[in-house]
Amino acid sequence: MLTNVLIYLVLLVIGGLLSYKGLIHKKLIKKAGSLQLFFLYVLIFIMGLRIGLDRDILDAIYSIGLKAAIYALTTIIISAFMVFIVSKYIIKSHLKGESVNDS
Amino acid sequence: MTAKILLVLFAGIGTGIFLLEPEFMAKTDILLDIGLCLLLFFVGIDIGSNKKAFIHLKKIGFKLLLIPISAAMGSILGGMMISVFIGMNIFEGGAVGAGFGWYSLSAILIAPYSSELSTIAFLTNVFREILAIIFIPITAKYIGYFETIALGGATAMDTTLPIITRNTNSETAVVSFVSGLLMSIFVPILVPLFIALI
């Protein structure tokens, strides 16, 4: 896991520094959004593929699917609610509805 | 965007079930790694091109750490609440909630205690990742940007980071990576803690 985290961090920092220092052509920066979207869909497809290929997941869905779905839904709702409260009343920077991907 | 994401996700699931053999799984590891690395590089380009992002984050300062902390607390609380309703031990619910979407690790950590709970944790966190992929665009549009990080949980630093970046802004992308990293560190600490409390 640690190696992966380091690789992700290095790639993020290299990409960030190159564009921060203006070393990436403006055309590529403009294209970065659509390239990002393309790779995003590829990534989601692969994630779906992995779920479909994993027979353990499919077997588990039949036996405890409903219980797990309720757990998943509740944990993300309460988690998002807590962050909502913290960002609105403590951080006081409740970002919403600004230009999406304002780069 | 959500409709397209769902379509692509289910196309992937369908292809995995009906068209490919389970042995193909090993190849998806490499594909996933390459895809993630390319995406994160472009996310970096996106973040770096917005110089205002860092100034804004500096203004908020250490308060930003409250985001992963509150997201983690909410997730654990949600798990505990549901365990009460379905008649399970409250700390079992806490252990499931403390997986934060990292399904492989949380299931492995719980397995020595109970294989049934391990399976619940595994599937809960798989569903959590799917729900995050689906609801991040909607949350960003109607609720707020930082809330999308809570949906991603531990995956906010890798698999759901590109979706968060795409639907929010550069500030949120930076906070998302840091938050996902911290929540990933919490998983191997908190899951065994809740198991010990059962």
- Tens of pLDDT, residue by residue over A57-96, are 888 787 788 999 999 999 999 999 999 999 988 887 656 6
* Token pair of A66 as six digits: 């409903």
d(CA B176, CA B79): 22
pLDDT of residue A93: 67
A-chain residues near B191 (CB < 8 A) = none
Asked, for residue A19, whether it belongs to a domain, the answer is no
Interface probe with A: pick from B28, B42, B65, B77, most Cβ of A within 10 Å:
B42
Q: What is the pLDDT of residues B37-73, one digit of tens each?
A: 888 888 888 778 777 777 777 777 888 899 999 999 9
Asked, for residue A101, whether it belongs to a domain, the answer is no
Asked, for residue A38, whether it belongs to a domain, the answer is no
Q: Which residues of chain B have a pLDDT value below 50?
A: none
Closest-CA distance of chain B to residue A62, Å: 11
Residue A100 pLDDT greater than 60, yes or no:
no
pLDDT of residue A94: 57
* pLDDT level of residue A98 (50, 70, 90 thresholds): very low
- How many structural domains compose chain B? 1
pLDDT of residue B66: 94
| Domain enclosing residue A77, as ranges | 64-94
* pLDDT level of residue A39 (50, 70, 90 thresholds): confident
pLDDT of residue A2: 66
User: How far is the CA of B20 from the CAs of A44, B12, B17, B25, B185, in angstroms?
Assistant: 17, 10, 7, 9, 34
Q: Nearest 5°: CA angle at B91, between B181 and B88?
A: 125
d(CA B84, CA B80): 7
CB B110 within 8 A of CB B118: yes
Query: Given phi > 0 = left and psi -120 to 50 = alpha, else beta, which region is B61?
Result: left
Asked, for residue A77, whether it belongs to a domain, the answer is yes
d(CA B67, CA B129): 18
pLDDT of residue A103: 37
pLDDT of residue A65: 87
Question: Closest-CA residue in chain A for B62?
Answer: A91
- How many structural domains compose chain A? 1
pLDDT of residue A96: 60
CB B180 within 8 A of CB B153: yes
pLDDT of residue B183: 93
Asked, for residue A88, whether it belongs to a domain, the answer is yes
Q: Does B163 touch chain A (CB under 8 A)?
A: yes
pLDDT of residue B131: 94
d(CA A72, CA A65): 10
| Domain enclosing residue B145, as ranges | 2-197
Q: Does A2 touch chain B (CB under 8 A)?
A: no
Residue A99 pLDDT greater than 60, yes or no:
no
Would you tell me how many other CB atoms lie within 10 Å of the CB of residue B22?
A: 12
Closest-CA distance of chain B to residue A6, Å: 11
d(CA B13, CA B20): 10
pLDDT of residue A97: 46
CB within 8 Å: A17 and B48? yes
pLDDT of residue A68: 92
pTM: 0.82
